[in-house]
Amino acid sequence: MHARTPKHFVLEERLERYADFIEPAPQDYAGRWAEACYPLGGPTTPAGAGAQAGAAARTGRFREVRLDLGCGKGAFTVEAARREPDVLFLGMDGEPLCMAYAGGLAAKSGLENVVFLAWDGHRVTEAFAPGELSRIYLNFPTPFPRKRQARRRLTDATCLMEYRRILTPNGTVRLKTDSRPLYLFTLEELAAAGYTVLWTSEDARADFPDDPTSGYEERLAANGAKVFALEATPGPAPAHFSPTPQRGLVEYLPQDLEKLDYVPLGMEATVWNMRNREAKLWAKGHKGTGRADNNEKTS
Ligand SMILES: C[S@@+](CC[C@H](N)C(=O)[O-])C[C@H]1O[C@@H](n2cnc3c(N)ncnc32)[C@H](O)[C@@H]1O
């Protein structure tokens, strides 16, 4: 899932060119994002956004700060920022190439309410003060399907416990994914971390057709993906939190693979292996899922 460097693309040169839009040390701004990024004279106002931006101009700070965690090349972050000029949108990603693209997009947009943070999402609490973020978007987070990679998922309960600290009291986490296994896994992790699920959708493109879309959403929807989405807010913190057992996403696939009309991102090889194994067993006259073996492979 690493982005490839195109020909004639010099990463360092791009990062330098768009340095005004890429913050490599976000911890320096923890607790003061809304004021520190506020432009002199108030945010630039696209037609129709006057009242909102006017309100922000009176306070000298952005109305809200939201984070697009694992923002990739930043298409969603920039489009969301364009629609709400009085909200500061921060896109965070650990991949320098993504930051170079995202910085370029922000520069071209002319917007003053979008900044990209070159930072690891597992250290997100260092970049923000308690209660600083009103929303964390997780758009098509890397699924890390193998059992031994489970802790790297940005919707693991351990991560969700961290997000509780930096969200406002009514703050929310919004997930979008093409992966039903990741969506089901996330619902379990949210429960373990004491979140209340506000809504879910098993076809977010139909349910929210006007939402800004991310790069992966465009790409995967063109391949026939349905988008699973949810929004959740922290409820009372669990009295005794302990990390959930690590699980491979293969455990969340349907028992009957015939029912799987779309293979989620990152699970192509796993499903291909499972189908092959089933076909071989079938040929031998022993129909079975081969799931136990596959779990070993994905652990
Ligand atoms: C599948 S892409 C989705 C990108 C974008 N959100 C979209 O929907 O187009 C996942 C992104 O998450 C980033 N990512 C994965 N783990 C991360 C972490 N721990 N911290 C920051 N970014 C991470 C990857 O570098 C990648 O750009």
Closest ligand 1 atom, residue 138 Cα: 6
Residues 145 and 208 in one domain: yes
- What residues have CB less than 8 Å from 104, skipping those under 6 apart? 14, 17, 18
Identify the residue whose C-alpha is closest to ligand 1 atom 23.
70
Strand pairing partners for 138? 175
Q: What is the pLDDT of residue 291?
A: 58
Clarify whether residues 215 and 155 are in a common domain.
yes
In a domain, 6, yes or no: no
What pLDDT score was predicted for residue 296? 39
In a domain, residue 170? The reply is yes
Give distance in angstroms: CA of 39 to centre of ligand 1: 28
Rounded to two decimals, what is the model's pTM?
0.90
CA-to-CA distance for 172 and 125, rounded, in angstroms? 15
The residue whose CA is least distant from atom 12 of ligand 1 is 70
CB 31 within 8 A of CB 129: yes
Query: Per the domain annotation, does 168 fall within a domain?
Result: yes
Dist CA 296 CA 299 (whole Å): 5
For a ligand 1 pocket test, name from 71, 93, 137 the mutation site with the most ligand atoms within 8 angstroms of its C-beta. 93
Q: What percentage of the chain reaches a pLDDT higher than 90? A: 77
pLDDT tens for residues 260-279? 889 999 999 888 888 888 88
Q: What is the pLDDT of residues 183-221, one digit of tens each?
A: 999 999 999 999 999 999 999 999 999 999 999 999 999
Same domain, 284 and 194: no
State the DSSP H helix or E strand holding residue 174, giving kind and residue range, or none if neither: strand 167-177
Q: Count of domains in the chain?
A: 2
Residues 126 and 220 both lie in one domain? yes
- Choice from 142, 154, 175, 177 to test ligand 1 binding pocket (greatest atom count within 8 A of CB): 142
Best CA proximity match to 133, nearest among 161, 80, 173: 173
Q: Confidence class of residue 54 from pLDDT cuts 50, 70 and 90?
A: low
First to last CA, the chain: 19
Residues 198 and 266 occupy one common structural domain? no
Q: Which domain holds residue 244?
A: 11-249
Alpha carbon of 98 to ligand 1 centroid (Å): 9
- Identify the residue whose C-alpha is closest to ligand 1 atom 25: 95
Q: Name the residue among 20, 6, 128 with its Cα closest to residue 67.
A: 128
Mention every residue, 6+ apart, whose C-beta is less than 8 A from residue 18: 100, 103, 104, 106, 107
Look at residue 1 and tell me if it is in a domain: no
Q: Is the pLDDT reported for residue 53 higher than 90?
A: no
Same domain, 144 and 233: yes
**Does residue 176 sit in the same domain as residue 293?**
no
Q: Are residues 192 and 70 part of one domain?
A: yes
Q: Considering the domain boundaries, does residue 280 fall inside one?
A: yes
Atom of ligand 1 nearest to the CA of 216: 9
Dist. CA 140 → ligand 1 center (Å): 7
Asked if residue 258 and residue 229 are part of one domain, the reply reads no
Q: Distance from the CA of 213 to the center of ligand 1, in angstroms?
A: 15
Band of pLDDT at residue 52, cut at 50, 70 and 90:
low
Whether residue 193 sits in one domain with residue 180: yes
User: What is the structure's pLDDT at 84?
Assistant: 97
CA of 141 to the centre of ligand 1 (A): 5
**Same domain for 204 and 254:** no
Q: How confident is the model at residue 50 (pLDDT cuts 50, 70, 90)?
A: low
- For the CA of 68, the closest atom of ligand 1 is 6
Strands 228-234, 195-201: pairing kind: antiparallel
pLDDT for the residue numbered 295? 45
108: confidence class by pLDDT, cuts 50, 70, 90 = very high
Q: What is the pLDDT of residue 226?
A: 95
- Classify residue 40: in a domain, yes or no: yes
Residue identified by tokens 């949210």 is 190
Query: Residues lining ligand 1, judged by CB closer than 6 Å?
Result: 1, 70-72, 92-95, 98, 120-122, 139-142, 214-217
Q: Which among 45, 244, 30 is positioned nearest to 158, based on CA atoms?
A: 244
Q: Are residues 61 and 82 in the same domain?
A: yes
Type of residue numbered 81: A
Q: What is the distance in A from the centroid of ligand 1 to the CA of 149?
A: 15
Q: Which atom of ligand 1 sits closest to the CA of residue 217?
A: 8
Q: Identify which of 113, 114, 33 has the alpha carbon closest to the alpha carbon of residue 73.
A: 114
Please tell me the distance from the alpha carbon of residue 258 to that of residue 101, in angstroms, as a whole number. Answer: 39
In a domain? residue 3: no
CA of 72 to the centre of ligand 1 (A): 5
In a domain, 5, yes or no: no
Predicted confidence band at 253 (pLDDT cuts at 50, 70, 90)?
very high
The CATH number for 190's domain is 3.40.50.150
- Side-chain-side CA neighbours of residue 81 (13 Å): 29
